[in-house]
Copies of this chain bind each other. A is one copy, B any other.
Amino acid sequence: MRRLRMGMIGGGPGSFIGPVHRIAAELDREIELVAGAFSSDAGRSRAAGEQYRIDPSRAYADVATLIAGEAARADGVDFVTIVSPNHHHLPAARAALAAGIPVLSDKPATATLAEAHELADVVRAAGLPYALTYTYSGYPLVREARARIAAGALGTIRKVVVEYPQGWLAGEASGKQAEWRVDPARAGEGGCIGDIGVHALQLAEFVTGLRVTELLADLAAVVPGRALDDDCTVLLRFENGARGVLLASQIEVGELNGLRIRAYGDRGGLVWKQEEPNSLTLYDLDGGCSVVRAGTGLLGADAAARTRTPGGHPEGYLEAFANLYRDFAALLRGEPAPLLPGIEDGLRGMAFIAIAVAASRDRAGWVPFGV
């Protein structure tokens, strides 16, 4: 069976997430990077193509050229992955889908909620695979947490605490990664809420299988002179009445990428932490505490299928990311991939940014949340 051919949009020199997507896409050898419009600067796109070791003729100067060039080849790309800053997501996805090319996109879906609605219309009209790399839902133990909650291990969910502490923007934002994230023109109206808050929301909904229906947001730009929020507190209500707290911050000095979730029902509780991703802690009402470890026989089918090494051989971020590409490859082959985030998740993420930013600005208290 041949490998699927991937084109990349964005991911040029200095990109962190471009190489991550490349590694993740190719990890299982189902997909191969063959082309890209890595930068809007032709020279930089070529340089990236060399770094990625692709055929130089397939390192394009822009998205339109990429699409045209690949369409003209018998071995053209099977899909594109979009890894550029947020404001490029909509035009890139629209162009690809218009040309009949499926799209995998980094999150968030777009730069604004309006764009996300537009993109949703495009995706629905196109009828082509479209998915979003909410990376953390690719971790095997996150899948396990979801499966166990779905099977009733915690009883009825009552409380969810999802935290995403980082500290890397506690000082001045310098460097390519930082600069666009604090610039409204490129990041959109959300700073921290859009960069990592949406991951936390998606994780909370993914793990619990419950939708948030109300929120109360308190966002702030803590670092002097910053235009976008860098510290977010959002209270949540889920559709079943469960209470939630979502904390995300980029100014908590010393925190690296501390995403974690705790969920409690009327029969049990669980804890998962991204920085120690290969185990899941479960509690019961009698004081019992058990630790489910990756690579042991205690994982359910979904988590087990997404683990590549035996127990005690740590897997991490790249492998979790690769699990989303594996799901997307299944989708392209016509198989189901029900847990792969799609445009609906994208819409929810963008709505979350828009509603949280507005509610916080207006000190609006509790407001409805939904798409």
List residues of A whose CB falls within 8 A of some B CB.
1-3, 16, 19-20, 22-23, 26-30, 33, 50, 52-53, 154, 158-159, 161, 165-168, 170-171, 216, 218, 220, 222, 231, 233, 235, 243, 245, 247, 249, 251-258, 262, 264-269, 271, 274-278, 281-293, 295-298, 308-319, 363, 365-366
Q: Which 7 A-B pairs have the closest CB atoms?
A: A254-B283, A256-B312, A257-B312, A287-B296, A314-B316, A256-B311, A313-B317
Whether B316 contacts A313 by the Cβ 8 Å rule is yes
**A254 contact from B222, B269, B277, B308, Cβ within 8 A:** B269
Whether B283 contacts A253 by the Cβ 8 Å rule is yes
* Min C-beta distance of A294 to chain B, whole Å: 9
Beyond A159-B251, A287-B311, 17 extra complex contacts between A and B, CB < 8 Å: A1-B53, A20-B308, A23-B308, A165-B262, A171-B266, A253-B283, A255-B269, A256-B293, A256-B311, A275-B314, A286-B297, A286-B298, A291-B291, A309-B318, A314-B317, A316-B316, A316-B319
**A308 contact from B262, B265, B296, B318, Cβ within 8 A:** B318
Whether A310 contacts B222 by the Cβ 8 Å rule is no
* Min C-beta distance of A75 to chain B, whole Å: 15
Residues of chain B within 8 A (CB-CB) of A3 are 53
* Min C-beta distance of A300 to chain B, whole Å: 13
A-B contact pairs, 20 of them (CB 8 A): A2-B53, A16-B310, A27-B318, A29-B53, A158-B231, A161-B247, A216-B218, A231-B243, A233-B245, A249-B264, A253-B284, A254-B281, A256-B293, A256-B295, A256-B312, A274-B312, A287-B298, A289-B293, A314-B316, A363-B365
* Min C-beta distance of A266 to chain B, whole Å: 7
Whether B29 contacts A285 by the Cβ 8 Å rule is no
Bound Cα distance A19, B274 (Å): 25
Q: A253-B268, A284-B254, A291-B290 are in contact. Are A314 and B314 (CB under 8 A)?
A: yes
Whether B317 contacts A159 by the Cβ 8 Å rule is no
Whether A30 contacts B53 by the Cβ 8 Å rule is yes
Residues of chain B within 8 A (CB-CB) of A243 are 218, 220, 222, 231, 233
**A26 contact from B2, B26, B298, B313, Cβ within 8 A:** B26
Whether A22 contacts B29 by the Cβ 8 Å rule is yes
Whether B231 contacts A159 by the Cβ 8 Å rule is yes
**A297 contact from B53, B268, B275, B287, Cβ within 8 A:** B287
**A285 contact from B218, B253, B281, B295, Cβ within 8 A:** B253
Q: A29-B52, A313-B317 are in contact. Are A265 and B253 (CB under 8 A)?
A: yes
Residues of chain B within 8 A (CB-CB) of A26 are 26, 29
Residues of chain B within 8 A (CB-CB) of A298 are 286-288
Bound Cα distance A243, B30 (Å): 47
Q: A50-B1, A52-B29, A233-B245 are in contact. Are A19 and B308 (CB under 8 A)?
A: yes
* Min C-beta distance of A276 to chain B, whole Å: 7
Bound Cα distance A53, B29 (Å): 7
Bound Cα distance A283, B254 (Å): 5
Residues of chain B within 8 A (CB-CB) of A27 are 23, 27, 318
Q: A252-B159, A275-B312 are in contact. Are A289 and B290 (CB under 8 A)?
A: yes
